[in-house]
């Protein structure tokens, strides 16, 4: 009987280990020391004043497949705003149906990242916008061909002239990138977590608050912090225990390819976790489709701890509080081609 009571007591403790009583009274203050709520206005970006004219132009360019050599792929192809800002594929499909080497990160809230791409090789969204256009596995185009395409359509020339009124030649590849950056800066998704940080106690459920508590106590917030709950630092994937080769392919050495420093082997920018419930599959390899599994892998690989199922469930509950309201984006009507518009090609134009 004593053994029975002892077993029942242990089971009761296990089921009540995380309750509303375990939520710190100063949870909001603790969270504000680590995270930041999203701003209520479009954030400013360096060396690119955001204007309504740039946003209109950038939106059109974001959705226009004619910036690719084949006229098939647009920015929205891999960063679909209807599916969490990514394409929900392990790795993206590009020119000639080639498969890219890494999972496409979300474009939502990307303006808050310290740098762009998993390895941080683009310092900002302007630099990032230029990359896929010229990548042979993505849009396979050249800056010259892009500009020739845009200049062939009077409506685009008019939009560029309005957005970059002070420029002698407004239709340039740099301005192309600046316009896309301006539009992407508007892709901010306020979530229940932001409402909580701003003082609304009822914005998050008890389970989500318990998960937030665990997220900080376990050390997840050491890498996933700031406005974007990640995206603001570089860390080795497998600090404590190296994940399996399907999750961490040995041929992808991460930031090492950018810096050529041995300390950067298997180092990646910490994934921003806003809207993470919408952006499966996970990790740069895109091999994990279940969010609970991804959390468990991070526990062993980064924290050196096999998280209990209840702990994983609570952390996932917190992550769901990061699912925000995506701004309504009406599909733009794009300028019509003219006789001078370059025709789609199958060959790779970019490097």
Burial category of 93 from C-beta neighbours within 10 Å (exposed 0-12, middle 13-18, buried 19 and up): middle
Residue 84 CA to residue 105 CA, distance in Å, equals 10
All residues at 6 or more sequence positions from 244 whose CB lies less than 8 Å from its CB, including other chains: none
All residues at 6 or more sequence positions from 238 whose CB lies less than 8 Å from its CB, including other chains: 248, 266, 301, 302
SS3 35: strand
Among 53, 90, 123, 138, which one carries the catalytic annotation? 138
Task: Report which DSSP code applies to 302.
Answer: I
Asked if 108 contacts 245 with a C-beta cutoff of 8 angstroms, the reply is no
Residue 320 CA to residue 207 CA, distance in Å, equals 10
Cα 312 from chain centroid (whole Å): 22
CA of 169: how far to CAs of 93, 132, 163, in Å? 34, 24, 12
Residue 176 CA to residue 129 CA, distance in Å, equals 8
All residues at 6 or more sequence positions from 26 whose CB lies less than 8 Å from its CB, including other chains: none
CA of 314: how far to CAs of 103, 213, 215, 230, 318, in Å? 26, 9, 9, 19, 6
Sign of CA dihedral 350, 89, 289, 35: positive
Cβ atoms < 10 Å from Cβ of 243: 20
Active site residue 53: no
DSSP E strand boundaries for the chain: 234-236, 267-269
Q: Which residues are catalytic?
A: 138
């Amino acid at each position: 009987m004593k053994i029975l009571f002892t077993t029942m007591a242990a089971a009761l403790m296990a089921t009540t280990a995380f309750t509303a009583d375990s939520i710190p009274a100063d949870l909001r203050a603790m969270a504000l020391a680590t995270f930041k709520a999203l701003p209520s206005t479009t954030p400013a970006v360096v060396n690119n004043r955001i204007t309504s004219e740039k946003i209109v132009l950038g939106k059109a360019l974001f959705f226009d497949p004619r910036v690719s050599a084949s006229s098939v792929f647009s920015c929205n192809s891999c960063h679909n705003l209807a599916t969490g800002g990514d394409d929900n594929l392990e790795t993206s499909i590009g020119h000639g149906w080639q498969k890219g080497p890494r999972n496409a990160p979300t474009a939502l809230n990307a303006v808050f990242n310290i740098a762009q791409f998993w390895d941080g090789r683009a310092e900002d969204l302007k630099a990032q916008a230029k990359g896929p256009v010229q990548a042979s596995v993505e849009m396979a185009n050249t800056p010259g061909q892009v500009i020739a395409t845009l200049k062939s359509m009077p409506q685009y020339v008019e939009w560029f002239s309005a957005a970059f009124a002070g420029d002698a030649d407004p239709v340039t590849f740099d301005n192309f990138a600046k316009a896309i950056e301006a539009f992407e800066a508007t892709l901010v998704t306020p979530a229940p977590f932001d409402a909580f940080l701003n003082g609304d106690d009822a914005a998050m459920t008890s389970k989500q608050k318990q998960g937030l508590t665990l997220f900080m106590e376990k050390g997840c917030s050491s890498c996933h912090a700031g406005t974007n709950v990640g995206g603001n630092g570089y860390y080795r994937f497998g600090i404590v225990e190296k994940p399996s080769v399907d999750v961490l392919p040995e041929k992808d050495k991460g930031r090492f390819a950018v810096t050529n420093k041995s300390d950067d082997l298997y180092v990646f920018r910490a994934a921003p976790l806003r809207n993470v419930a919408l952006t499966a599959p996970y990790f740069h390899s895109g091999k994990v489709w279940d969010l609970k599994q991804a959390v468990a892998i991070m526990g062993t690989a980064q924290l050196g701890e096999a998280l209990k199922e209840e702990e994983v469930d609570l952390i996932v509950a917190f992550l769901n509080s990061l699912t925000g309201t995506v701004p309504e984006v009406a599909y733009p009507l794009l300028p019509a081609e003219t006789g001078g518009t370059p025709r789609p090609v199958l060959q790779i134009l970019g490097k």
